[in-house]
Structure 1
């Protein structure tokens, strides 16, 4: 028989509530007698936590054998033997020794072999998990006792896909299973996303057309008013010097023509003022624009006046 070395915790570490431990032991024993070992096992385990005794260990081991948890049962038979020896209970020690020897050949064994990747080296931080238990590197390639039935082996490593294999073992069967890491995961390149800050809209100022338009309007009013006054003066003089619209000489006739010209210029000035005012109002309604440019000017000549500009 293979030698199994176990370490029992000191009795003080188990001590907690002996009375409650006895109640759990009695409840588990009753369930086991009724053939309900699956329900009895948690009772025995709880009793061990409260107060570990050899009698509890052998009851637990018996139920585990009946439910095909042979590897667990072997461990508890060995623990029961050591516990009974410390308690001075020769009968339980002898029974546990006998049952452990009988169970040993029934135990299936599973060898997990790791297939290395093409580089011949195993990836760092590789884990082999058998039935939810992570196995150390020294357990790889060793025939370890397991319970009969299905087993799941998972291999995982950072940067590699996880692989899973399943295997079934019967009582006394020895099997080997080769496992390895999956395919290498593609590197994920992190692309820094360029953040674009929307341009701030330039603050809108007063549209230049406002200044140009109203400026032209003021100039037009000024020209119209001045030339109007001058035309009025010329007309008054012509009325006095040319009664009945008859002028005595060419000088007076030229004064009449000059008055008519000034009157025309005055009219045009006021018209230009109206256009300028319209341009200024349009500038107010259109709002400011940093790209707008406009020029408007008033021209006054010997034969008339006008407005010129670009928008």
Structure 2
């Protein structure tokens, strides 16, 4: 009890409650019960504190009991009167369903059907109301009660939608035609595209090499005159040849690469419709023409 009182003074109501419960379980006298009730009040457990106060007042008076016990009974009576004015009430009514089907719960505790509509004592603070009824939609409510408040709450339940047990057969709807039902990309387009990309990559590489050769000539051979001490005829010819073939290959491969990529794009974009009913092979026969023509949509 001493430990609990020190904790309560320090603001540790939870710790004090645990100590007072232990002391009251051991002694079960008015003084231990009064401390327990005061800790419950400090935690907002007004309903529990009221029950503890009634328990204290109901304890039998022993012969020659200490004066502290009588003082605790008197204090418990005053506390009970004060709590009676503070404890809020909930008045729950359920509409829309027969009473025999209703199952109502407040904070998980069932409410007897006979008690529906009657005030129900609860602690101040938030509470959850759940109302169920066979064949009806479950309803939930969140309310917050204040001290001395009597809160009327009406919960109306509605019938649950009926689910048909009949088996319905759905006829598949015709698939919407694809906007791009085209033939696969031809193999030559893939080959042309790959070759074109390779050509462009090689063109970039030779362009870099040409730039390096040009920078070397401008640095070592200004005005096309190389220092004979460092460049003999063969080295000069090799450097100029590098200049020429790197430039030529860069341009040639670049043009070929662009052509290959363009051809591949044409093969992708202009490939025929895969399911074109208007496509047909038309024979061409005439005095000056012999052959066939393919007609369709590209």
TM-score, length basis structure 2: 0.48
Tell me which structure has the larger Cα radius of gyration: 1
TM-score (norm 1): 0.47
